[in-house]
A and B are shown apart, each in its own frame.
Chain A
Amino acid sequence: MKQYFINTWEGLWTVLVGMKITFKHLFDPAVTIQYPDVKPTMPERARNRLFVNMDDCIGCDQCARACPVNCISIETLKSTPDDTPGETSQGKKKALWVTKFDIDIAKCCFCSLCVYPCPTECIEMTKVYEFSEFERNDLIYKFAVLTPEEITDKTQKYDEFQAAKEAEKLAAAKAKAEKAKQDAAKKADDNPDKKAE
């Protein structure tokens, strides 16, 4: 019987205690971040969307090889001496035209493994985290700055250069051969002189 009244009292009292707690929380400031209006601050080394600074990229393909999910694909083209891609910001000479630098961010696992091998520190993880798209193809980011015309132009140039080089080489080889012949001929010519002396 005594337990009965204790139960009653405890039932009511604990409800009141609970109500007091919720009442206090009614006036506590909310912890909600109003997301689209207020952006959450990212931690220092947050890994989100990849960004490639093409000015610095030398097309070394190391990031593509480091990627565990093969989301980076790079194609390069050798440059000609008269039309070089210039230098990186750290003064390193670029030897390759980067014709294709695609990152399929949908595949990316945000491991940051591509960032470490980069010799010019041109690929990096940014703090941008809002990049949803309606089309899956839109998630393939194309970083290459060259237009298709430029690429064909460069290819042509390289081919011409290559051809020229070939021709030069051929010419050189021919010249060499001719020179050797000449030398031989000269030698042959010289000898009789010596003999004549």
Chain B
Amino acid sequence: MPENIAPGGTGSTSAPHIEFRDVVKSFGDNTVLKNLNFTVGHGERVTLIGPSGSGKTTILRLVMTLEELTGGYIHVAGQPLQYEEKGGRRQRVPDKQRRRTTTQIGMVFQHFNLFPNMTVLENIIEAPST
């Protein structure tokens, strides 16, 4: 688990744009993120630094909903991303709402993952219509 992320924020004064609350991520018996708490404010630049296998990519993949949360909550722009607390219970966020939130986030993959069946222009303009 990355240890150099200050719990509860990185010093920004604005409302958090990304918030990790008690986030747990396990792959089988291997718990990669254990009760991770941190916030990223609007316009703030954050660098994740850590040894290989410490969970840097897992954090990004969780924000992109490419990995399923094992425990805890992630909020983006005030909206719950994968799970939300409703009536004291942890519930899954509906797919439509989840997609609405993720349209505000972008990610460049390490290996790009371009669509080989599309032209360069089509790759650039491919986006949800809403």
Q: Are A and B a genuine interacting pair, yes or no? A: no
